[in-house]
Amino acid sequence: MTDHRLLEEGSQLAINFEKLASIARSGSLVVPVAVQDADTMEVLVLAYVNQEALDYTLAHGVAAFWSTARNELWVKGATSGDTLQIVEVRINCEQNSLLYRVRPLGSGTCHTKGPDGSARSSCFYRRLENGQLVMDG
């Protein structure tokens, strides 16, 4: 497996603790957003939002993020078709994180694909067990 596939499909835990520091270095003013399926209640993905992405989300009723890798507005599903329709946007006590409750309009949410070849419903498809990552199902 390539390093990339190992990271995404492997059983080896290799948490990237550098991500937030690199976001800060990029100068992006973002807050984290947890995204939850409003019907199944599954947590789908954790992403980042700046003012522009939040404004887009509220104006268009679809989940938009700030891509901290590409430093650009990321309208989820714009290329993949895996659009997330907004049911509601919630905010935490201290107003430094968000919760998007959504309805997926495509085949899934994650950019990785499951055994059936379609996008996984959630990015959290592995659990930690005795120091290893275990796939569901």
Give the Å distances, CA to CA, from 105 to 1, 32, 76, 102, 108: 31, 22, 11, 9, 8
Residue 62 or 98: the one with the smaller Cβ distance to a copy of itself is 98
Shortest distance, position 33 Cβ to a copy of itself, whole Å:
8
Q: Distance (Å, rounded) from C-alpha 100 to C-alpha 91?
A: 9
Shortest distance, position 28 Cβ to a copy of itself, whole Å:
8
Q: Distance (Å, rounded) from C-alpha 35 to C-alpha 94?
A: 18
**Residue 78 in contact with a copy of itself, rule: CB under 8 A:** no
Please measure the distance between the N-terminal and C-terminal CA atoms of the chain and give it in whole angstroms: 21
**Residue 32 in contact with a copy of itself, rule: CB under 8 A:** yes
Q: Which two tokens stand for residue 96?
A: 């430094």
**Residue 62 in contact with a copy of itself, rule: CB under 8 A:** no
Contacts with a copy of itself, residue ranges (CB under 8 A): 7-8, 13-21, 23-25, 29-32, 34, 36, 41-43, 45-46, 48, 50-51, 54, 58, 88-99, 110-112, 120, 123-128, 133
